[in-house]
């Protein structure tokens, strides 16, 4: 595949990308390390290159309009009040091949299992400390350490009910985990809202593309909460109201001044 920044502009895709110059020294989602377009992008670019500029503006507006109509926003707290601003949607999605996503998913699952094992040990046998792998002061001085929970086994069998990872592609093209979100992971609802908005931006392409569905995540979360597998979940704030209806769960969030749009809570609530 010729480099889109140097090859003669004959292919419609090359014409589309003639002014696109990836930053040097960093990985790019569209081009691989050799300057070739990643194959997974080819169908999207073929479709994208056929849209006239004025029609493309209308496409993008459909996604932005959906977010406004759905009430998706980002709330920024200030000393005086909470200010809302539009949710920044990237109308061109990031496309990842199935095989690459499977490898990434397997790695994240392995990482989640490791973090679960660490928590189980710290609130259980505490071998990581007694065997010298972690200094006792690191644990004792952590304000998130709940000494009262030592020795208690979670009803669900897991200490981590939800977990989120912030990931990015490194300069060599490999995926890096930038941070682990275990205390109050968020973003599942925002991911779904972004997906719904993108489906309105490119409805023709989206309908015939084998895109991974997100509904299974929310259905699994609801099923686990209603099965009694857990009494509390950090993300959705679920807990059992056993005094009235054993088959009901209440969902709590931090209200309108929480610092972000609570799409996670809304979609979990709507799923029941």
Handedness of CA 189, 193, 194, 196 (dihedral sign): positive
β-bridge pairing 175-181 and 238-240: unpaired
Residue 86: what pLDDT? 78
Grade residue 103 by pLDDT with cuts at 50, 70 and 90: very high
Q: Report the share of the chain in percent with pLDDT over 70.
A: 74
Average pLDDT on 101-121 reads: 95
Q: Which of 61, 62, 85 has its CA nearest to residue 72?
A: 85
Residue 66: what pLDDT? 92
Residue 251: what pLDDT? 54
Query: Tens of pLDDT along 117-139?
Result: 999 999 999 999 999 999 999 99
- The span from the CA of 195 to the CA of 201, in Å, is 10
Q: Is 118 helix (H, G, I), strand (E, B) or coil?
A: helix
Whether the per-residue pLDDT at 110 is higher than 50: the answer is: yes
Residue 264: what pLDDT? 58
Q: Report the share of the chain in percent with pLDDT over 90.
A: 33
CA distances from 236 to 83, 232, 269 (A): 23, 8, 9
Grade residue 145 by pLDDT with cuts at 50, 70 and 90: confident
Whether the per-residue pLDDT at 269 is higher than 60: the answer is: no
Query: Tens of pLDDT along 43-53?
Result: 899 899 989 98
Cβ–Cβ < 8 Å for 185, 234: yes
Whether the per-residue pLDDT at 18 is higher than 60: the answer is: yes
DSSP category for residue 186: -
Specify whether the backbone of 174 is left (phi greater than 0), alpha (psi in -120 to 50) or beta: beta
Query: Tens of pLDDT along 162-220?
Result: 888 999 998 888 999 999 988 766 778 888 889 999 999 999 888 888 888 888 888 88
β-bridge pairing 82-86 and 73-77: antiparallel
Q: What is the CA radius of gyration of the chain?
A: 23
Whether the per-residue pLDDT at 240 is higher than 70: the answer is: no
Residue 84: what pLDDT? 72
Residue 8: what pLDDT? 44
The beta strands (E) that lie in the chain are given as: 73-77, 82-86, 164-169, 175-181, 238-240, 249-251
Grade residue 227 by pLDDT with cuts at 50, 70 and 90: low
DSSP category for residue 262: -
Q: Which of 157, 210, 160, 221 has its CA nearest to residue 188?
A: 221
- The span from the CA of 37 to the CA of 30, in Å, is 6
> Count of CB atoms within 10 A of residue 239's CB?
15
Q: For the full predicted model, state whether its pTM sits above 0.85.
A: no
DSSP category for residue 209: S
If you average pLDDT over each of 15-24, 46-55, 231-240, which comes out highest? 46-55
Q: What is the mean pLDDT of the chain?
A: 79
Residue 176: what pLDDT? 94
């Amino acid at each position: 595949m010729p480099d889109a920044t140097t090859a003669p502009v004959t292919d419609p895709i090359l014409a589309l990308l003639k002014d696109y110059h990836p930053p040097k020294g960093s990985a790019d989602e569209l081009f691989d390390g050799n300057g070739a377009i990643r194959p997974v992008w080819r169908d999207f670019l073929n479709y994208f290159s056929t849209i006239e500029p004025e029609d493309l503006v209308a496409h993008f507006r459909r996604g932005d309009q959906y977010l406004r109509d759905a009430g998706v926003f980002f709330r920024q707290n200030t000393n005086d009040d909470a200010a809302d601003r539009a949710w920044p949607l990237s109308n061109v999605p990031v496309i990842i091949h199935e095989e690459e996503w499977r490898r990434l998913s397997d790695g994240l699952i392995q990482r989640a299992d490791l973090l679960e094992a660490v928590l189980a040990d710290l609130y259980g046998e505490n071998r990581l400390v007694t065997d010298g792998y972690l200094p006792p002061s690191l644990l004792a001085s952590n304000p998130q350490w709940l000494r009262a929970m030592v020795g208690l086994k979670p009803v669900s069998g897991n200490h981590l009910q939800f977990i989120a990872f912030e990931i990015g592609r490194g300069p060599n093209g490999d995926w890096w985990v930038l941070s682990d979100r275990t205390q109050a992971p968020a973003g599942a609802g925002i991911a779904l809202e972004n997906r719904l908005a993108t489906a309105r931006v490119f409805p023709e392409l989206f309908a015939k593309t084998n895109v991974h569905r997100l509904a299974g995540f929310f259905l699994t979360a609801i099923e686990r909460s209603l099965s009694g597998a857990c009494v509390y979940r950090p993300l959705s704030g679920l807990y059992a109201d056993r005094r009235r209806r054993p088959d009901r769960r209440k969902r709590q969030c931090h209200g309108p001044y929480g610092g972000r749009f609570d799409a996670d809570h809304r979609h979990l609530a709507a799923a029941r």
